[in-house]
Structure 1
């Protein structure tokens, strides 16, 4: 039987926790996190989406999104100081000085060396690719990258799991998703995937070891 494909999420798995990156962004820009998150939410709502969805499915450009978010910030707090925030180039500032999760990066390389196929299944933004790919430095390891902004749908939409299977020329039962968002794990399970809900490195490393030792998966 063929070995399973390990699909890694990017943000929160191959990077520090998203909450930690939000805190760092607040320190860089002096924008209160709660106000920034509300502005992002209000911007998405204009398109009938939530969070970063308009960016993550490639609906709007980063520059347009940044302008809209800045307008929302000033509506929410008219005297807010946005001078330290480069919202039209949000990704550049967001990823500045962010270090990858080296333990998980090392695990990706170990799995590849052991003969497993490695995929990246990420909700991401077109303009951010110039920052996140060099950060994790896995271009020589990743067999498949399925990026929401390039396929026009995002986790937890069932369609993106189907696209991943098609691109890997495999079936659901051979796919294992490692993701820090429980909703994405639940959606993948409904598709027939196995999942590891990322809580911390130790937990995930133990679960990966269990799966790779299970002869029924090899």
Structure 2
């Protein structure tokens, strides 16, 4: 029986609903389509930030130097990069309902700013029993170790948990560990998908 529900953040709780600011910066900086995300998330330094080898400010310092930007230009790029992201308040409300009956948690590949954002900017950290962030753990999804750590802190066996992520390879990794998993996509009725697993928020 499912006792714990584990969520990803980027692409699930927090989604880029407006890509125009990133596209505008890509055009301004002469980057190819998707080039901004490639720098922030997929570059060697972006991966180091998510693994906790460098901080989020150090990542942006590197991005600024890499693109030959001033400190002010780098700060403007950073603001623009994140400005299209929106918190799914409906999903947060569902999670708060679920938390009355189940354990809730986060597993996220993210740099050093996430815990502060969840606590202070979005004020939703209290909706989760455990928050597992790759930069703090020094390990990223889809490494099975990050799932085992989350399960250990929740005191659960894999069969007692479900994991929700927008990347299929992370979903597959969770399933390989033994968790149930849901591939989150825009338009998904998550409450219904959870009901299919016997999980009710009511």
What TM-score, normalized to structure 1? 0.76
2:36 corresponds to which residue?
Answer: 36
Matched, 1:158 2:144: yes
Identify the structure with the greater helix proportion.
1
Alpha-carbon distance, 1:152 to partner: 0.8
2:22–2:36 Cα contact (<8 Å) kept: no
5+ residue gaps in structure 1? 75-79
**Shift of residue 72 of structure 1?**
2.9
**1:35 positional shift:** 3.6
Q: TM-score when scaled to structure 2?
A: 0.81
Equivalent residue, structure 1, for 2:175: 189
1:40-64 per-residue CA deviation (whole Å, 9 max, x = no partner) reads: 47841xx6xxxx3211111012233
> 2: CA distance between counterparts of 1:133 and 1:116?
21
Counterparts in 2 of 1:39-188, with a 5 A limit? Answer: 39-40=39-40, 43-44=43-44, 52-74=46-68, 84-86=73-75, 90=78, 94-96=81-83, 98-113=85-100, 115-188=101-174
**Cα deviations by residue, 1:127-149 (Å, 9 ceiling, x for unpaired):** 34322433443233211111111
Please state how far the C-alpha of 1:26 moved relative to its aligned partner: 4.0
SS of the residue 1:190 aligns to: helix
SS in 2 for 1:140: helix
> Which residue number corresponds to residue 77 of structure 1?
none
RMSD value, Cα: 3.0
List runs of 5+ in structure 2 lacking aligned partners.
none
User: Compared with structure 1, are the counterparts of its residues 43 and 137 closer, same or farther at alpha carbon in structure 2 (3 Å cutoff)?
Assistant: same
Cα deviation 1:63-110 (Å, max 9, x = unaligned): 332232233334xxxxx89964318x94x6544474311221111112
Residue 134 of structure 1: SS of its match in structure 2?
helix
